[in-house]
Amino acid sequence: MVWSITSGLELAGTRFLWALRKPRGVADADVLPAGFQERTDGRGLVTMGWVPQIAILAHDTVGAFLTPCGRNSLTEGLLYGHPLIMLPIFGDQGPNARLMAGRKVGLQVARNEDDGSFDRHGIESAVRAVMVEEDTRRVFVANALKMQEIVADKELQERYVDEFVQPLRSYITDGNSSTAAETWY
């Protein structure tokens, strides 16, 4: 997986900051392909430590966010109106990515239909479509900014929570509290 991403980023030719979680059991020298950092020097930075993701996403120079589309990262990326390059791996990430692709806030990295794998060309294509190709980028940016309005609207988010909690409270106060409590455990 790491090798496909590195090759795709290198082929795309765009600037990047990559917070890479080092795979277990792999020596530091073996994480990235030989010469990758030298070939991308001046336009790319790979860090294998913790990074302040929200502070980075808040910076004006960020052009897009390559994300697996977990709920938290997805929300953080949209909070700052960034178009997405989506690379879901497991859990809720696939449905989240399909939903965001349907809303045209970014592009999901193409996968092999037989085994779900992706390659450097899929990474390159998605990065270039979201970051470089003006026609597609314009659409993704506009739609990401529309989603930003929704995600950043605190009153709207509080209303959603209230609308979710109210029926639960009604259920408990209607004399069904033991059944409700059993349902939650």
CB 123, CB 7: distance < 8 Å: yes
Residues 6 or more apart whose CB falls under 8 angstroms from that of 12 comprise 123, 124, 127, 128, 131, 132
The answer on 170 and 81 residing in a single domain is no
The answer on 160 and 101 residing in a single domain is no
Token pair recorded at residue 105: 């806030």
Smallest CA-to-CA distance from 99 within 69, 124, 63 is with: 69
Rounded average pLDDT over 37-50: 92
The answer on 56 and 91 residing in a single domain is yes
**From CA 147, how far away is CA 103, in angstroms rounded?**
9
The answer on 157 and 143 residing in a single domain is no
CB 40, CB 14: distance < 8 Å: no
**From CA 79, how far away is CA 81, in angstroms rounded?**
6
Question: In the chain, pLDDT over 90 holds for what percent of residues?
Answer: 75
Q: Which domain holds residue 185?
A: 153-185
Higher pLDDT, 54 or 176: 54
Per-residue pLDDT tens digits for 116-135: 999 999 999 999 999 999 99
The answer on 172 and 116 residing in a single domain is no
Higher pLDDT, 22 or 130: 130
The answer on 134 and 65 residing in a single domain is yes
The answer on 166 and 112 residing in a single domain is no
Amino acid present at 19: A
